Amino acid sequence: MFTIAESLILLGTDDEKGTSVSSASLGYGLAGSILAELAMMERLSLEDDKVIIIDDTLTEVSYFNSVIEEIKADHKARTVEYWVNHFANNTKAVHDPVYLSLVDKGILKEEDKTYFFFFNTNVYPTVDDRPEQAIRAHIKDIVFNGKAPDPEIALLLSIIKTCDLTAEVFGKKDKKAAEKKLDEIIDNNEYGKAVSKAVEDMEAAILTAATTAVMTTTVINN
């Protein structure tokens, strides 16, 4: 069983290099997916367009707990956009723990990589690609064969589109067809059909914030 963030990492990481295939946008997708899953778990909600903690009980997922604790400790109620940007740029709270959770599960391995003789970073190549392939097969079954998505997978598909990972997940040949189907899923609000109105509002705000952040980052980098 994987969180939405873990599924996103498996889909968005180069199996051999162990690095993100879209580093500029994946961080925003990770942040958004964690906030959204916490909303589904009824730990977070929106009040006057601000994120609030409604249940601070510890979960079994370390990075969920880190996000809850950080939001709880802030002296000020803040918007979804603020938290998406904040956690997207916080490798210790979100990025590293998600990768390490997949290392602990025996799917990735952690390696130290040196660039230009002095710059060190961690990379996470794949050692067991079966979980990733199962996720890809499930997603393709939904997108191309009309299988109904559950809320988590529907949200994952929305984040894939937001993070511009469509070609990576479905292949360049099927990118256009996949994007058309993803638009239909998003337009039909599939991720909102099986969740409460409060969670639906939270997820819509998260996707809007992540989309804005990704578009801004893309413009700056270009």
Give 47-85 pLDDT, tens digit per residue: 888 999 999 999 999 999 999 999 999 989 999 989 998
Domains, the chain, in order of start with CATH, read: 4-216 (1.10.3630.10)
Identify the band that residue 120 occupies on the pLDDT scale cut at 50, 70 and 90.
Answer: confident
User: Residue 42 and residue 29: Cα distance in Å, rounded?
Assistant: 20
Q: What is the pLDDT of residues 22-38, one digit of tens each?
A: 756 788 889 999 998 99
Please give the sequence-ordered ranges of beta strands (E in DSSP) within the chain, or none if there are none. Answer: 44-47, 50-53, 78-79, 111-115, 119-123
User: Residue 175 and residue 144: Cα distance in Å, rounded?
Assistant: 12
User: Residue 43 and residue 203: Cα distance in Å, rounded?
Assistant: 13
Kindly tell me if the per-residue pLDDT of 204 is higher than 80: no
In whole angstroms, how far apart are CA 172 and each of 46, 177, 179, 210? Answer: 37, 10, 11, 23
The pairs formed by 111-114 with CB atoms below 8 angstroms and a separation of 24 or more are 111/18, 113/18
pTM, two decimal places: 0.88
